[in-house]
C-alpha cells in the first residue's frame, strides 16, 4: 500500500543520497530498494537482501533521521521486508543422476580467500553477496552475477567462495571453471563421444563457479549446453556464481540465457578508491614480507588506479629491485622503477564538455545542437549517447551529471542510458560509433 508522500519523503531522501555516494554504490545498494508503504507514520521498504538493509542503516542513518518519520521513542519508524526469492519456471529437464565421487582436493588458489580480499566502498556489496552465497549456497541469491573491469577481483572472489565452501561445508562439491575451460571440456567430450558423462558431472555439483562468461559470446553451439547445465543446477537449487566483464544485458548471448542470469543478484565490482588501494598494497606487501613505507604506498596507489593486478605487479617489481640492489624502498626509487608503468599516463579526466565535443564530431552534429532542445533524430540520438557515456565514464552522481546537460533531470539521464544500452546490443553501427568516441576520449 503506497499511501502518500512517497515522492516527498523517499524521493527527497534519494536525491540527498545521490549527492553523497558514487554511481556504482547507488546502483548496487540503493536502486534495488522498493517502497512498500510510505505514510507520515511509517516507511516500509522492500530490500533484496539483508546486506542492503545493513548498508542503508549503517551508512545513512543520519540522513534517514532528517527525512523519515519517527515513533514515540524518537526512533526511526522504518521497517524492512526481505524480497521473496524470484520464482523459477518449472524444470523441463530430467533430474540429473548424482555420481558418487570422492570430494576432490581444493583446486582453489590459496591466496584468493575472503580474508585476503580488501574491502572498500567499490567492492563491499559484492564481497558481502559472495560471502552470503558461500555461507548459504543456493539459499540466498541464485545465480549471483558479478561484473566489472579487468583486475578488480572477480576471480579472487570466485575462489574465495570456493575456499569457504571447501572449508565450511564439507559435504558440498564446488567447482571453479573458466568459460574457456568449460568449452574445451565440452569439445573434448564431444570428440570422445562422452558428453553424457560430462553432463552428469556438472549436474551433480552443488556449487558451480563460472569465470568470464563473456567468452561464451559468439559460441552458439556451446551456449545451449551451458544454458542447459545452468538450468539443471538452478532448478535443483544448486548455487551458481558467474563473472563477466559486463552486465548480462550487454552480453551478446541469447535472451534465454541473459534472462536466467538476471534472475538472481547482479552486482558490480568497481575501481577501488585511493584508501582501499593503499590498504591492498599494504596487505599484499605484508603477505610477501615486504615493508612498504606509507608515502611510497600512497605514491603507487596514486599512479596505478584502475587495476589491482597492476598494483601487485608494481609491488613485485619494486621488491625485486630493492632486494637485488640492496637499496631502501623510497618514493624516489619507486618513481624511477615504476616510470615505465606510469607511462600509461592516467587518461585525462573525462568531463561532460569533452564528451559533448567528441560525440558531436563522431555523430557529425554541433555541440550547441546536443545542448539544445531539438528532437531531430540524429541530434536526439547524439544527446542520448552523450548522456549514456557521461553516466558510464564519469564517477559523479547522476544529479551532478544531469545538471551539466543544461539542467536535465537524473531520470532523463537514466532513460537515455537505458535506451542506448539496449540499442548498442542490436545496432552495430551505433556500437562502433560509441567505441570511437571512447577511444577519442582515451578511455
Interface contacts to ligand ADP, rule CB under 6 A: 112, 116-118, 123, 150-156, 280, 308-309, 312
242/83 Cα distance (integer angstroms) = 22
Query: Closest-CB residue for Mg ion?
Result: 155
Q: How far is the CB of 156 from Mg ion (least distance, A)?
A: 8
Beta bridge partners of 44: 37, 79
Q: How far is the CB of 276 from ligand ADP (least distance, A)?
A: 7
Cell numbers describing residue 92? 523441463
For 269, phi then psi, to 5°, come to -110, 120
Contacts 24+ apart (CB under 8 A), 427-434: 430/381, 430/385, 433/362, 433/363, 433/385, 434/385, 434/388, 434/389
Q: How far is the CB of 290 from ligand ADP (least distance, A)?
A: 15
Cα–Cα distances in angstroms (integers) from residue 303 to residues 98, 206, 273, 278, 310, in the given order: 51, 42, 12, 11, 10
| CB nearer ligand ADP, residue 120 or residue 354 | 120
Query: Closest-CB residue for ligand ADP?
Result: 153
Instruction: Give the one entry of ligand ADP, Mg ion, none that residue 226 binds, where binding means its C-beta sits below a cut-off of 5 to 8 angstroms depending on kind.
Output: none
Instruction: Give the one entry of Mg ion, ligand ADP, none that residue 123 binds, where binding means its C-beta sits below a cut-off of 5 to 8 angstroms depending on kind.
Output: ligand ADP
Q: How far is the CB of 145 from ligand ADP (least distance, A)?
A: 14
273/394 Cα distance (integer angstroms) = 14
| CB nearer ligand ADP, residue 309 or residue 438 | 309
Instruction: Give the one entry of Mg ion, ligand ADP, none that residue 153 binds, where binding means its C-beta sits below a cut-off of 5 to 8 angstroms depending on kind.
Output: ligand ADP
Q: How far is the CB of 244 from Mg ion (least distance, A)?
A: 10
| CB nearer Mg ion, residue 309 or residue 408 | 309
| CB nearer Mg ion, residue 154 or residue 410 | 154
Q: How far is the CB of 11 from ligand ADP (least distance, A)?
A: 34
| CB nearer ligand ADP, residue 155 or residue 179 | 155
Instruction: Give the one entry of Mg ion, ligand ADP, none that residue 308 binds, where binding means its C-beta sits below a cut-off of 5 to 8 angstroms depending on kind.
Output: ligand ADP
| CB nearer Mg ion, residue 155 or residue 397 | 155
Instruction: Give the one entry of ligand ADP, Mg ion, none that residue 117 binds, where binding means its C-beta sits below a cut-off of 5 to 8 angstroms depending on kind.
Output: ligand ADP
| CB nearer ligand ADP, residue 271 or residue 382 | 271
Q: How far is the CB of 345 from ligand ADP (least distance, A)?
A: 22
Instruction: Give the one entry of ligand ADP, Mg ion, none that residue 160 binds, where binding means its C-beta sits below a cut-off of 5 to 8 angstroms depending on kind.
Output: none
Q: How far is the CB of 223 from ligand ADP (least distance, A)?
A: 22
Instruction: Give the one entry of Mg ion, ligand ADP, none that residue 216 binds, where binding means its C-beta sits below a cut-off of 5 to 8 angstroms depending on kind.
Output: none
Q: How far is the CB of 130 from ligand ADP (least distance, A)?
A: 11
Can you give the binding site for Mg ion, defined by CB under 5 A?
154-155
> Greatest CA separation found in the chain?
72
Instruction: Give the one entry of Mg ion, ligand ADP, none that residue 338 binds, where binding means its C-beta sits below a cut-off of 5 to 8 angstroms depending on kind.
Output: none
298/274 Cα distance (integer angstroms) = 8
Instruction: Give the one entry of Mg ion, ligand ADP, none that residue 312 binds, where binding means its C-beta sits below a cut-off of 5 to 8 angstroms depending on kind.
Output: ligand ADP
Give exposure, 96-128, as e/b (b: 16+ Cβ within 10 Å).
Answer: beeeeeeeeeeebbeebbbebbbbbbbbbbbbb
| CB nearer Mg ion, residue 154 or residue 277 | 154
| CB nearer ligand ADP, residue 16 or residue 279 | 279
| CB nearer ligand ADP, residue 155 or residue 173 | 155
Beta-carbon-side half-sphere exposure of residue 370 (alpha carbons within 13 Å): 25
Instruction: Give the one entry of ligand ADP, Mg ion, none that residue 150 binds, where binding means its C-beta sits below a cut-off of 5 to 8 angstroms depending on kind.
Output: ligand ADP
Q: How far is the CB of 212 from Mg ion (least distance, A)?
A: 6
Parallel, antiparallel or unpaired: strands 34-38 and 43-47? antiparallel
Amino acid at each position: 500500500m503506497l499511501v502518500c508522500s512517497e515522492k516527498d519523503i523517499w524521493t527527497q531522501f534519494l536525491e540527498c543520497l545521490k549527492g553523497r555516494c558514487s554511481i556504482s554504490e547507488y546502483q548496487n545498494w540503493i536502486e534495488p530498494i522498493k517502497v512498500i508503504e510510505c505514510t507520515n507514520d511509517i516507511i516500509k521498504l522492500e530490500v533484496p537482501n539483508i546486506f542492503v538493509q545493513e548498508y542503508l542503516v549503517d551508512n545513512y542513518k543520519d540522513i534517514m533521521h532528517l527525512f523519515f518519520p519517527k515513533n514515540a521513542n524518537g526512533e526511526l519508524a522504518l521497517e524492512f521486508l526481505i524480497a521473496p526469492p524470484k520464482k523459477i519456471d518449472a524444470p523441463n529437464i530430467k533430474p540429473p543422476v548424482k555420481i558418487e565421487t570422492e570430494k576432490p582436493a581444493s583446486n582453489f588458489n590459496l591466496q584468493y580467500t575472503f580474508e585476503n580480499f580488501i574491502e572498500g566502498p567499490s567492492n563491499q556489496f559484492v564481497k558481502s553477496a559472495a560471502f552470503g552465497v558461500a555461507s548459504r549456497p543456493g539459499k540466498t541469491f541464485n545465480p549471483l552475477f558479478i561484473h566489472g573491469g579487468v583486475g578488480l577481483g572477480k576471480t579472487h572472489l570466485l575462489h574465495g567462495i570456493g575456499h569457504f565452501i571447501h572449508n565450511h561445508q564439507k559435504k558440498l562439491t564446488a567447482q571453479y571453471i573458466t568459460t574457456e575451460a568449460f568449452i574445451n571440456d565440452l569439445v573434448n567430450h564431444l570428440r570422445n563421444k562422452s558428453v553424457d558423462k560430462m553432463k552428469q558431472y556438472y549436474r551433480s555439483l552443488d556449487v558451480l563457479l563460472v569465470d568470464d562468461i563473456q567468452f561464451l559470446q559468439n559460441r552458439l553451439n556451446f551456449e545451449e549446453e551451458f544454458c542447459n547445465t545452468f538450468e539443471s543446477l538452478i532448478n535443483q537449487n544448486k548455487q551458481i556464481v558467474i563473472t563477466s566483464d559486463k552486465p548480462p544485458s550487454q552480453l551478446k548471448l541469447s535472451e534465454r540465457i541473459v534472462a536466467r542470469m538476471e534472475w538472481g543478484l547482479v552486482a558490480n565490482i568497481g575501481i577501488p578508491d585511493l584508501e582501499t588501494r593503499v590498504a591492498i598494497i599494504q596487505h599484499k606487501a605484508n603477505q610477501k614480507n615486504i615493508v612498504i613505507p606509507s608515502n611510497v604506498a600512497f605514491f603507487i596507489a596514486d599512479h596505478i588506479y584502475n587495476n589491482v593486478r597492476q598494483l601487485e605487479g608494481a609491488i613485485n617489481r619494486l621488491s625485486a629491485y630493492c632486494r637485488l640492489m640492496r637499496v631502501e624502498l623510497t618514493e624516489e626509487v619507486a618513481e624511477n622503477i615504476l616510470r615505465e608503468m606510469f607511462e600509461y599516463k592516467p587518461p585525462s579526466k573525462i568531463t561532460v564538455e569533452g564528451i559533448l565535443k567528441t560525440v558531436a564530431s563522431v555523430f557529425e552534429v554541433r555541440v550547441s545542437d546536443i545542448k539544445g532542445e531539438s528532437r531531430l533524430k540524429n541530434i536526439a540520438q547524439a544527446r542520448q549517447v552523450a548522456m549514456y557515456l557521461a553516466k558510464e565514464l564519469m564517477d559523479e552522481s547522476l544529479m551532478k551529471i544531469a545538471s551539466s546537460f543544461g539542467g536535465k533531470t537524473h531520470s532523463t539521464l537514466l532513460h537515455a542510458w537505458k535506451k542506448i544500452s539496449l540499442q548498442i546490443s542490436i545496432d552495430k553501427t551505433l556500437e562502433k560509433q560509441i567505441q570511437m568516441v571512447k577511444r577519442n576520449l582515451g578511455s
